[in-house]
Structure 1
Amino acid sequence: MNGFLNLIKPAGMTSHDAVVWFRKLSGERKTGHLGTLDPMATGVLPLALGSSRKLTEYLIEKDKEYEAEFTFGITTDTGDVTGEVVSRKDCSGLTKDRVLGMLPLLTGEITQVPPMYSAVKVSGRKLYELARRGETVQPKPRKVMVYEFSLVKWREGVSPRATFHLRVGKGTYVRALAQSLGELAGTGATVSRLQRTRAGPFRIQDGYSPEKILQLKRSGKLDEALLPPTKCLPEFPAFPVGPDVIQAVKNGAPLEASLIPGAVRNVLSSSGHPGLFFLMDRNGEVVALMRLEDDRIRYEKVLITS
């Protein structure tokens, strides 16, 4: 199998469990995910299959969208409702307008400290592994991008609940945003619900639940759920090449820039374009990802396996 699968992860399943489940179901051992989604969270968890895993780095850089519910007045050791409660506070005086006034402070490029319960590595060890052993370390702050942080719904009460729409860049932790917003409010806050609605080109309305994937597998139609690399990375132009070029790619031989069609070359030379393009066989299967640089074709990723 080769391509990408837009899995809609249910609550309670870890991202690793999702990969293991699909490997067993499909028999495709070369399966990985495109960015960890918390166990309590639901939504888009794209899977990369076969040689398409080599393209993960280009997709994992793309922005993501979430619908998140924060509960004010409660803090936990994990930053969400699965953790142990650290503090409680009566927040009946917290208003919607006050929260709205704080959102611009957490929008744009901000400095964020990853939560202790996260997959960020310190000295080669994941933070959540250290946290479970009772070891405390101070993760280094890092710059992240929050493109949009808007309030969708507000529920008043002793522990007010707010639903937000978020569009964020790579490496942004929603649980850390909840913590920061709670600190600004002086109340504390935790994530009580989280759903990833988009990860790059993968949208929740186009995804497949585990139940649907199982149905497709049983009916022999699992391939229908797979998306080719060219669909997921449309900014990289693609064009077919003949058997001679494909054999040259398999051998790692130099390729002449003259084989690139004029229309494709115009795209590659446009301002801001990274110069990346796909070579395809006559059946539409991706052979390799290449780069045009200084009027020379350089190998980026070879996907063809035989």
Structure 2
Amino acid sequence: MFTEDLSLLRGPPGRDGRDGRDGRDCDTDELEKLVAIMFNESKKSGESSSVAGTTTGKSPLRSYDTDDLLQSFNESIGFALLRKMQVTLAKLEDIEEELDSHQSTSLKDDDDVSDSQPITTVIGGSTYVRWGRTTCGNNSQLLYEGFVTGSHYTHEGGASNYQCLPLKPEYSTYSGHGSVVYGAEYRTGSSVFPNYMENHNVPCARCFAPTRSATLMIPAKRTCPPSWTKEYEGYLMAGLHSHKRAYAFECMDAEPEAIAGRSGNEGGALFYFQLSVCSSTGHCPPYINYAELTCVVCTK
């Protein structure tokens, strides 16, 4: 409201909690100057001055005592502060409306995106069989424990792959007519595995790697490629070359377990170590003639 410098209002601190700006320590000349400023501002704005009360040219200070002038002056200051507060509140209301409008627009945009591009949960992971063990490694979850079966090694028909059957089957309608599968046995000889496994039946575990979507079995290796996770290592096994039955290659765990109570020579599906022959492969060295091939199962 005032265009003049109000520095002469600054009295001693502590009177009214606002750094002493009540003007009570101004002398008469200072008060007269302040009132003259107020009077002139009132004339410019067309308002009737509550301080002067006259327009005769007489000094406004002569019509009032000091207390009256201070009261009128404080009322004018209060009006100015009130006006500034009103302006500030109006600006804050404008900012609030703008923020509300922006938030509403953002929510609407989000709804549009949600409608046009629904969010779906993608479930990854990879499964594999750990042949010869009833548990999975620390990197995977056990889906079920089981035992290995396959077609009899003397049969010419049937399937060529081994199967990991769960311990607790769930049957539907059955009649007893069809092909048959048999329990699988180790045919390992003596010393490659830590324990003697000859003729023992073979367990298995179906495993799930929840954070990896690919499974890779690498023959003749014990380590995985960079950035792949090693699930287990072992030996490459399948059927015997002289038998009528051909079996798929599988990676048998290097420290296999056996099914308790099943150690007799009952035939069925059989596991043999697989040996590389240098005369036909032509990669010796580094391969060793008739050495049991290793293997590793990796996930990523």
Q: Same fold (TM over 0.5)?
A: no
Greater Rg, structure 1 or structure 2? Answer: 2
> Which structure has the higher relative contact order (CA within 8 Å, separation 6+)?
1
- The structure where strand makes up a greater share of residues is 1
Superposition TM-score, scaled by structure 1 size = 0.19
Q: Give the TM-score of the pair, scaled to structure 2.
A: 0.19
